[in-house]
Amino acid sequence: MTDRGNIVGVDLFCGAGGLTYGLERAGIEVRLAIDVDKSCEYPIRRNTKASFLHRDVDRLNPSAITDAFDNAKVSLLAGCAPCQPFSTYSRSAKRHGPKRRGRGDAEDWKLVARFGELIRKTQPCLVTMENVPPLGRHDAFSELLGYLEGYHTDYRIVECCSIGLPQKRMRLVVVASKLGPIHLPEFDLERTTVRSAIGALPAISAGGHDPSDKLHRASRLSEINLARIRASKPGGTWRDWPAELRAACHARDTGETYPSVYGRMAWDGPAPTITTQCFGYGNGRFGHPEQDRAISLREAAMLQGFPRNYSFISDDEEPSFAKLGRLIGNAVPVTLGETIGRLLVEHVEAA
């Protein structure tokens, strides 16, 4: 039996620290968190015990990882490699032109390949990666599994509602071990709700904020969007509105395929997938269940599993919806990180 305290991790593509923080809650020592985005340094240093390395993984010397593993009985390489087809930039580009084919596809998934290269070069005892489900249909995923030759490997698509996160988020999760066979179960934990996550937060208005928490702030609404949200039902769609409030796109046939934009969440169900644009009422079903506004940045973070006191920016920095939306929406949900961490701890203890 191996001591759980001897699992030492490195988190690649660490973002705002959702995976690092979740792994730590499971009892794993994450010594190093790495990201190309300098904005990730503050939340990592402020909320976790990990050191932060500001580095592009394409220029990362594998020795940075192996040095962090020094004296570890069990080493873990973890991460969520960003995939270009699902980045904010790529979604915008897709609206303005056809997706590139051929060589461009390899570029889209190159960070997944880089993750695989670093596995091969550093040879950790354990590996975990989470990513978007469509990755599993691409050659890049088969190539990643090829980098895991010599490991016992399992993977599945995890519905985050099934692990206790109040969010309809689907993620492809991979676990691999040199210690013995490892298995990802079909999770079926108690379902949680929007109410359980954010119901205790103080009421605020559109464009307002809580003086005691600068992240509990909501974006402004135009007069027509204020009228629209007042006409919206929890869990409903824009079809609940009177005709005069409907946008021109709703009158076209294509509008019928987007029922969840301009929607309110329901108190007693899960939230939709939290995205980088979750602070905007018109960007999805991001309306507050009861108050006439979009969810606040703090509410978005809590729906991602972050605790209420998690700090994303320093006290002297003014909040930016764009920056914080990116950090929160791109984060690995803390609940998913902790669930994976507990699975790895149990695996090591049984080895």
Alpha-carbon 348 to chain mean position: 25
Task: Give catalytic status of residue 83 as yes or no.
Answer: yes
Gyration radius from the chain CA atoms: 21
Which residues have C-beta within 8 Å of that of residue 92, sequence separation ≥ 6? none
Backbone dihedral angles phi then psi of residue 7, each to the nearest 5 degrees: -80, 120
CA torsion 316→323→56→143, rounded to 10°? 150
CA angle at 192 for the pair 275 and 307, rounded to the nearest 5°: 60
Q: Is the CB of residue 286 less than 8 Å from the CB of residue 329? A: no
From the list 83, 125, 160, 278, the catalytic residue is 83
C-alpha distances out from residue 40 to 17, 20, 119, Å: 8, 12, 23
C-alpha distances out from residue 38 to 35, 41, 55, 67, 190, Å: 7, 6, 9, 22, 36
Query: Which residues carry out catalysis?
Result: 83
